[in-house]
Amino acid sequence: MLKVTDVLIRNLSDQAKRSPRKRQNYNLHKSRGEMIQRMLNAFEPKTYARPHKHENPDKLEAFVIVRGKLLAVEYDDDGNVIDHAVLDALGPCRAVEFPPRVWHSFICLEPDSVVYELKEGPYDPVTDKTFAPWAPPEEHKDAQKFNQKILKLLELI
């Protein structure tokens, strides 16, 4: 039996805090070849998850909040926000699922936020994600500005 414990979650959040990216994942699957990829992802404020989609091959992706609060955002092909949800471990929304070929991203709203992620496998780093051309790359100086623009648009700041 695989157990997701408070100790595991706390350790993962501590690693995310020390990470330059301000996030950290922990694989629960044993290999890249598994047909269901399962992991915990810890997010800290100031992390930037570049909008992306999963296609070629098509894969759905689901997220269940375990601790904290994250904003899940869905975009159209031009980068306009078309839907969003605040995932909050205290409710009322605790999970989202993105179908294949849907642009999406996350913005951390609270320290020590952790999600349980499920994605169709197998995992191939070359074809896993298509990044949005209308959003800055992860290391770009405008990455945080992108997050702030979305938060302002949705009146979350």
Residue whose C-alpha is closest to residue 103's, from 118, 89, 88, 84? 84
**pLDDT, tens digit, 9 for 90 and up, residues 22-74:** 999 999 999 999 999 999 999 999 999 999 999 989 999 999 999 999 999 99
Q: Which residues contact 98 (CB under 8 A, 6 or more apart)?
A: 53, 54, 60, 61, 62, 74, 104
Quick one: 6-153 is in which CATH superfamily?
Jelly Rolls (2.60.120.10)
157 to 43, 49, 73, 102: CA distances (angstroms): 18, 18, 15, 25
pLDDT for 157 beyond 90: no
Residue whose C-alpha is closest to residue 61's, from 81, 91, 41? 41
The count of other CB atoms within 10 Å of the CB of residue 84 is 18
pLDDT for 75 beyond 90: yes
Segment 127-155 shows an average pLDDT of 96
**pLDDT, tens digit, 9 for 90 and up, residues 82-112:** 999 999 999 999 999 999 999 999 999 999 9
* φ and ψ at residue 47, rounded to 5 degrees: -80, 155
The count of other CB atoms within 10 Å of the CB of residue 39 is 16
Give the domain ranges of the chain: 6-153
pTM: 0.94
